[in-house]
Chains A and B, each alone.
Chain A
Amino acid sequence: MKQNEERQAIRDFIQDHATLYEFSDDDNIFKLGFVNSMFAMQLVAFVEDAFGIAVEDDDLELDNFNSVAALDRFVSRKRGRPVADPSAP
């Protein structure tokens, strides 16, 4: 799967669970209440199943899971791809 396809797959999965909401790739889906905290477990299962990566204890940081963009960066890192600093101008 190409990277833009990965991002779309992530977006589709979240949208599937937050059907009543529209959100940007950078919106914090937990803070905005689109999903509850238990959804984090489903996100873990999804990225492992969809992208063949293993989420480990050290990966459990909210910053890895709280938006489409954050998940995309996380998956890229796990796959060994360079990731742009989101805070860079």
Chain B
Amino acid sequence: MKRRAGLFPLDLTDEQSALERSFEEFVERDVLPISDLIEREDAMPPAIMQRMAELGYWGAAAPAALGGMGLDSLSFGLLGRALGRANASILSLLVVHSMVCAALARWGSKEQQARWLPKLASGELRASLALTEPQGGSDAGNLQLKIEKAADRYRIHGVKTWISGAQQSDIAIVVGACEEKPTAFIVDLRASGVSRRPIQSLLGFRGAMLAELEFDGYEAAAEDMVGRSGFGFSIVAGYALDLGRLLVSWGGAGLAEACLKLSLERVKQRRSFGVPLAEHPLIQGMLAEMIADVTTSLLVSYHAALARDRKGAAADETAMSKYVTSTAARRVSDNALQIFGALGCAAESPIQRYWRDAKIMEIIEGTTQIQQILIGRHASRYY
């Protein structure tokens, strides 16, 4: 069957097209068959994590010289799109792991890169980004977690919450207030001084293995600081979130595409009042909205990826992309659920999972409102 590429096919190199095909094969073969299981179990099967290691995906954001894939932003986006279609929880685990890889690759010392990146790239170790606190989600710079300096050591006290992957992650980049300045440290989550409380039964992203992390005197060494004191939030986390926004953007586009394609099949098959749903004008109206949303999502994600590779970081573009695609994914999944009706609400239907996961996408990596602030504040730059 001819693969339809949408109204405005993306301009990909031969290598990117080959990667895209491999990503699609991966999700068809390895991810889609277990998506329901992930939802029912509220957990991620180790086998899929291992499979991703075999394919090298944990190293997507790590430099090739240190064992990673060193993917360009557009190629990485295509992986995000495929995972968004198949299972947003797996996307989430890859996003948070990759944000840490990207931050270390850009701002880690040579020693930190040599120590951590090969193992992160191979999947031997997995990582999370610990930024959110109970008192501060969107207000992420208002850090309550304290990092006290004592001679050449640092002691960490406080709580991070809603941390994706943290039920099982081996290390995390933790951002806290050190001498009142936002500072990032690599923390070994397996060491003493750290405890984890799993967070389960979320609305969406049920396999993303979220946890609350409590630090009670965890001792870090000076060489565990990432970047410099005072730049933990603005530079280290900021750089990581730039990638995170981009990947969630592509994941949202993939989720929306999946909803659209399932809806297009449904409206051909299902008849109502003697004709296929596809012939009902109100259904056509919904399909038009969905197609427009999917099209704009892919185009904005595409250009944000190109901008990120051109400039190294593209905060304006990734904020715009994340805002457009996550809100679009919510609308598209909403329309899909409306089209499928009761069938879409059934536990075995992927539509209800897409609907729940789309809502989560409006909250993670900066809420819709945060993206609006970022975009609106700089609106006069664009027009």
- List residues of A whose CB falls within 8 A of some B CB: 16-17, 19, 36-42, 44-45, 48-49, 57-58, 60-62
- Asked, given contacts A19-B381, A60-B227, whether A49 binds B234 with beta carbons under 8 Å apart, the answer is no
Judging by beta carbons under 8 Å apart, are A57 and B107 in contact?
yes
Q: Which residues of A contact B313 (CB under 8 A)?
A: 41-42, 44-45
Judging by beta carbons under 8 Å apart, are B312 and A49 in contact?
yes
Min CB distance, B162 to chain A, in Å? 20
**Would you give the 0/1 interface string for B228-242, flagging 1 where the beta carbon is closer than 8 Å to chain A?**
101101110011001
Main secondary structure of the interface of B (DSSP, over half): helix
Judging by beta carbons under 8 Å apart, are B234 and A37 in contact?
yes
Tier of interface size on chain B: 20 to 34
Judging by beta carbons under 8 Å apart, are B315 and A62 in contact?
no
B2 within 8 A of A: no
| A46 closest partner in B (C-beta) | B311
Q: Which residues of B contact A58 (CB under 8 A)?
A: 228
Min CB distance, A86 to chain B, in Å? 20
Q: List 16 A-B contacts (CB under 8 A).
A: A16-B378, A17-B381, A19-B378, A37-B182, A37-B233, A38-B238, A40-B234, A40-B238, A41-B239, A41-B242, A42-B315, A42-B316, A60-B107, A60-B227, A60-B231, A60-B235
Q: Which residues of B contact A62 (CB under 8 A)?
A: 230
Instruction: Kindly state the separation between the CA atoms of A62 and B109 in the bound complex, as whole angstroms.
Output: 19
Judging by beta carbons under 8 Å apart, are B227 and A57 in contact?
yes
Judging by beta carbons under 8 Å apart, are B315 and A38 in contact?
yes
> Other than the known A44-B312, A45-B312, what 17 A-B pairs have Cβ atoms closer than 8 Å?
A16-B378, A19-B378, A37-B141, A37-B234, A38-B315, A39-B234, A40-B235, A40-B238, A41-B238, A41-B315, A42-B313, A42-B315, A45-B315, A60-B107, A60-B231, A60-B235, A62-B230
Instruction: Kindly state the separation between the CA atoms of A19 and B107 in the bound complex, as whole angstroms.
Output: 30
| A60 closest partner in B (C-beta) | B228
Instruction: Kindly state the separation between the CA atoms of A58 and B107 in the bound complex, as whole angstroms.
Output: 10
- Asked, given contacts A38-B234, A60-B231, A62-B230, whether A16 binds B381 with beta carbons under 8 Å apart, the answer is yes
Instruction: Kindly state the separation between the CA atoms of A20 and B231 in the bound complex, as whole angstroms.
Output: 25
| B230 closest partner in A (C-beta) | A62
Q: Which of A37, A40, A45, A57 contacts B109 (CB 8 A)?
A: A57
Judging by beta carbons under 8 Å apart, are B235 and A44 in contact?
yes
- Asked, given contacts A38-B315, A45-B313, A57-B109, whether A19 binds B235 with beta carbons under 8 Å apart, the answer is no
Interface centre among B109, B238, B242 (most CB of A within 10 A): B238
Judging by beta carbons under 8 Å apart, are B380 and A19 in contact?
yes
| A56 closest partner in B (C-beta) | B107
Q: Which residues of A contact B182 (CB under 8 A)?
A: 37
| A41 closest partner in B (C-beta) | B238
